[in-house]
Amino acid sequence: MKMTVSKNRKRGKNNEGVLARRLHAKRVGILQGEDIQHQIFSIEAKERKRLPVFLVKAYQQAKDNCPHGKIPLLILPGNGRRRGGDLVILTLVDLERLIKNVVIVDG
């Protein structure tokens, strides 16, 4: 068991490092805190060997139906949750494109 936990932690750290570099952010990866500090996002990074088939198919449907020049987005409402708590899924490449085009205004 200890070998698996150690291996999983190493894989998680590697994933956080890759994402932090791609998003021009800082990997902090402390227990009970955000994994990656970004200028506008607080990022929790999870490494999975495979995603649930439902999510993959639902995102593929969003992608297939997406007109040229737009970004496909999957919104998942939870049963009994208020709409503001819906989860939003897009690809890392699309997130990178969005971040590149965001102008930060200090208030």
1 has pLDDT over 70: no
The pLDDT confidence band at residue 53, using thresholds 50, 70 and 90, is very high
pLDDT at residue 57 in the model: 97
Average pLDDT over residues 7-18: 88
Query: Nearest-5° angle of CA 88, CA 100, CA 56?
Result: 30
CA 39 – CA 98 distance, rounded (Å) = 13
Pair 16, 30 in one domain = yes
Pair 39, 69 in one domain = no
Strand duo 36-37 + 26-27: pairing: antiparallel
**Is 17 within 8 Å of 43 (Cβ atoms)?**
no
106 has pLDDT over 90: no
pLDDT at residue 2 in the model: 56
Pair 41, 77 in one domain = no
Could you tell me the sign of the dihedral formed by the alpha carbons of 31, 16, 75, 106, in that order? positive
**Is 78 within 8 Å of 88 (Cβ atoms)?**
no
Q: How many domains does the chain have?
A: 2
Average pLDDT over residues 15-25: 94
| pTM assigned to the model | 0.77
Last residue of a domain, one of 47, 62, 81: 47
Which range, of 49-53, 70-74, 77-81, averages the lowest pLDDT? 77-81
22 has pLDDT over 70: yes
Pair 43, 60 in one domain = no
105 has pLDDT over 70: no
Q: Which domain holds residue 10?
A: 1-47
